[in-house]
Amino acid sequence: MQAILEAASNPLLAALNAVVSQYQTESEAEQQIILVQQAELYQQSCKATAVAQAQTQQLEQSLAELHQLQTHLIQTARTGSQVSNQTSRLSTIRLIVSQSI
pLDDT tens across 16-66, in order? 888 889 999 999 999 999 999 999 999 999 999 999 999 999 999 999 999
Contacts 24+ apart (CB under 8 A), 18-27: none
Give dist(CA 74, CA 63) in Å, integer.
Answer: 16
Q: Which of 34, 14, 15 minimizes the C-alpha distance to 26? A: 34
What is the pTM assigned to this prediction? Answer: 0.54
Phi-psi region of 96 (alpha: psi -120 to 50; beta: other; left: phi over 0): alpha
Give dist(CA 14, CA 8) in Å, integer.
Answer: 10
